[in-house]
Structure 1
């Protein structure tokens, strides 16, 4: 494989061979070793050739973390394809995604792990894809979550993403893989497990009960999740009856962590280390260090990553950054810096993420960060979940609105009175929601991240 800017991944099979006798995957009661992975990669290399999938083609891979999905992902990357991982939950967007990503072939894997292949469109030129092909590199196209607008197609060099794992030597752990295959956090977790010789554990579904069951049954040591899902764990009270003593580490990221949720998870798992992660689809996932398990302060950086704070916003320059978007202008400045849009506070080397600049609610010139208000609201008895947004107001510009999901039915007037009384004890007057409504709709998307573009 041709190499440029970290594009060479010919080392991958040798790295996997180092742990060939170890368990690499537990899926629906079946266990697969790294030797099985290598054997199936060889099998699928022949299948790709027989089915006419040429190097450089864009191939959509629709599925979850089943054996064949992982086998095919690794085979396609080694075949120098540009892979577009997609989930079944985003199916209504697939046609647009196929078009944006210039997909030539579509591989779909069903719940029984059977796979089918169908043709996409004819090869379509795009400078970013042509660049990868000319360098003989494999790539990954990941769509942003679109929680605050249209999903953008980010083109990443597989070689750049994998470079940090080339000499990885962390202790192999059993990790429940939670974030989906179409998410940069999910892809990062998958690679981190594989190239450290760890074991991927899958759950039957992404529900608190199913996750607890998998932790108990397979002695899971690491649980990567989102703040939204960790709040679901707290609200479910489903931990009773499960042996969760194997858990050593819970990581969380993708959105700001409400302090009340973090405190609750620490009380639920007092002996488990809690670590905040940080990354973006456009940049990859970075090395982080939390101040402690009860703190949302963290250090962000690591080899190949630079950070700076400009106007209270975090900017990052990274060697693993994407090449650009297929369906939007490049977001990088002329020196390669990326504005994350995350407003932060600083304390020496540590930063604390307050929220996205685009999500700030401006109440008469005062900044309100939704996560801060949500944290207080989640302390209110009978509140299962809440979404804080801004509503236009002719006097103050915006006011704060709260949309709550309740544990059980309650008189709305009584609930509003309780909620306002609680908020008055914890928040400044301009932060207190002026509009409080109750809903039974889902407040997060299929990536377990709050939907704020409603």
Structure 2
């Protein structure tokens, strides 16, 4: 069984990892990984939890422990280490004082990754390196890319970008933790040509009005619904770039990739064994997927009798296309009617004046819940005028335009009863919209 180090040595990689502070070659990181193995023989065939730290340290640790330890638990910041018997915390484990040759274990290492915990306590799901890298390809063109890392590398999406860069021997530029304008500046400095991010993060990058300074050739969206307005905007800004959106989850791994520039995916992929992954629809109109490989977990996947997993993603079919409406677990209950925040956000984002939107539930004594929305406007001298009379007048006009568009596309109970203009909307560590906090309001 091959491990991460052996795969990289076979590729004879010359890739580098850059941050705002330093540059590290993969060759040097492999040397450091061997040093860790030789100094920690007590970790052989054990379970180890990798604690938060710099990207270079994470790569070294993954190289050192894959094929050496029984299991690796990736612990992002603010995530509690799982209560697993016999687990060792790294780098808190003391190193041996002398170098000792340590054998690699013959069993494959299981990589445990936590869910984002947006709908409750994070759950841990284990994947093999083979499963994590099943969709990663190597070619001369891919080797020439320079990837920008916006996701936390301790989570599934970030790990996918990291492994893609490593195993295609491409360079990687870490811009996690920086403000959007600084992210663009650093990526422009190092001529980043490939970026993977959630739609929310892409909107933040677009708001800098400097995204076109990047020579992007590969654009990937994932983690949230990729609405047509955003796909079209990115396609027009980078007409020569390969544009795709990915459906994936920590629970089931990478599901499928849509590369035709259109929102949703073709209906012909449903109930079709020759599709990239087997898909179906439940009676509740939830998307069902059949995982390609087995996944270990502290909360086993709930599979039906035919091996399909309910993703809890509500979908609808229009013509020959399947569109995502939102998470069934996140629906707002308005007098017994279910409203999917993501659906309303897509309508708001189709309005010319809006760059970002966050829809959430507002308590109501009569209806149970009502729909409320925070929106961020595109920069405009009049809208952002310091004169309160001008600002009030323009905001009122824009609000009427927004409501007019909502009435065209939404049912009455789906229309926001309160629209607030805010400076920003917040995101969770996975780069997804945070529906639990508010931005600073203009009104």
In 1, Cα distance between the equivalents of 2:157 and 2:176? Answer: 19
Provide Cα deviations, 1:312-355, integer angstroms capped at 9, x if missing partner.
2111122334212x2x4543335532111112234788533221
Shift, 1:101, TM fit = 4.7
Structure 2 residue aligned with 1:39, among 28, 31, 36? 31
What is the alpha-carbon distance in structure 2 between the residues aligned to residue 251 and residue 164 of structure 1? 14
Name the counterpart of 2:119. Answer: 148
1:319 pairs with 2:292: yes
State how far apart, in whole Å, the 2-side matches of 1:284 and 1:379 are. Answer: 30
CA contact (8 A) 1:161 1:320 kept: no
Q: Does the 8 Å contact 1:287/1:302 carry over to 2?
A: no
Question: Which deviates the most, 214-223 or 345-354?
Answer: 345-354
- Assess if the C-alpha contact under 8 Å between 1:78 and 1:138 holds in 2: yes
Higher relative contact order (CA 8 A, sep 6+): 1
For 1:258-294, what per-residue CA distance to the aligned partner results, in whole angstroms no more than 9, with x for missing partners?
Answer: 33333333343333332101111111123413322x5
Matches within 5 A, 1:332-351: 332-346=303-317, 351=322
1:26 aligns with 2:8: no
Deviation at 1:368, TM superposition (A): 3.3
- Aligned residues, how many? 408
Cα distance between partner residues in 2 of 1:385 and 1:163? 34
Q: Which moved more, 1:343-352 or 1:248-257?
A: 343-352
Shift of 1:185: 1.1
TM-score of the two chains, using structure 2 as the length reference: 0.79
Of residues 238, 247, 255 in structure 2, which corresponds to 1:269?
Answer: 238
**Offset at residue 140 of structure 1 (A):** 1.7
Could you say what secondary structure the match of 1:231 adopts? Answer: helix
C-alpha displacement at 1:225, in angstroms? 0.4
Report the alpha carbon displacement of residue 449 of structure 1 after superposing the two structures with TM. 0.6
Match of 2:89 among 106, 119, 125: 106
In structure 2, the CA distance between the partners of 1:360 and 1:204, relative to structure 1 (3 Å rule), is closer
Name the residue aligned to 2:155.
Answer: 183
- Residue 357 of structure 1: which of 322, 328, 337 is its match? 328
User: Does residue 117 of the first structure (1) align with residue 127 of the second (2)?
Assistant: no
For 1:103 and 1:217, the matched residues in 2 are separated by: 45
Partner of 2:429: 446
Q: Find the partner of 2:53 among 46, 63, 83.
A: 63
The question of whether the paired residues in 2 share the 8 Å contact of 1:177 and 1:189 is answered with yes
2:102 aligned partner: none
CA distance in 1 between partners of 2:86 and 2:313 (Å): 32
Unaligned regions of 5+ residues in structure 1, if any?
1-7, 108-115, 120-133
Distance 1:216 1:432 in 2: 40
**Counterpart pick for 1:386 among 349, 357, 377:** 357
SS of corresponding position for 1:448:
coil
Residue in 2 that maps onto 1:9: 2
* Cα distance, 1:453–1:203 mapped onto 2, change above 3 Å: closer
Distance 2:434 2:114 in 1: 16
* Structure 1 pair 373–56 and aligned structure 2 pair: CA distance change class (3 A): same
Distance in structure 1 (CA, Å) of the matches to 2:163 and 2:400: 49
Range moving further from structure 2, 371-380 or 185-194: 371-380
**Counterparts of 2:155 and 2:13, CA distance in 1:** 29
Aligned to 1:402: 373
Could you tell me which residue of structure 1 aligns to residue 259 of structure 2? 290
Q: Check 1:204–1:438 CA distance in 2 against 1; reply closer, same or farther (3 A cut).
A: closer
How far does residue 252 in structure 1 lie from its aligned partner after superposition? 0.6
TM-score by length of 1: 0.77
Question: Which residue does the alignment assign to 1:254?
Answer: 223
Q: Distance in 2 between matches of 1:255 and 1:77?
A: 30
1:219-271 CA deviation, whole Å, 9 max, x = no partner? 222100011111112223244xx732x21111011111233333333343333
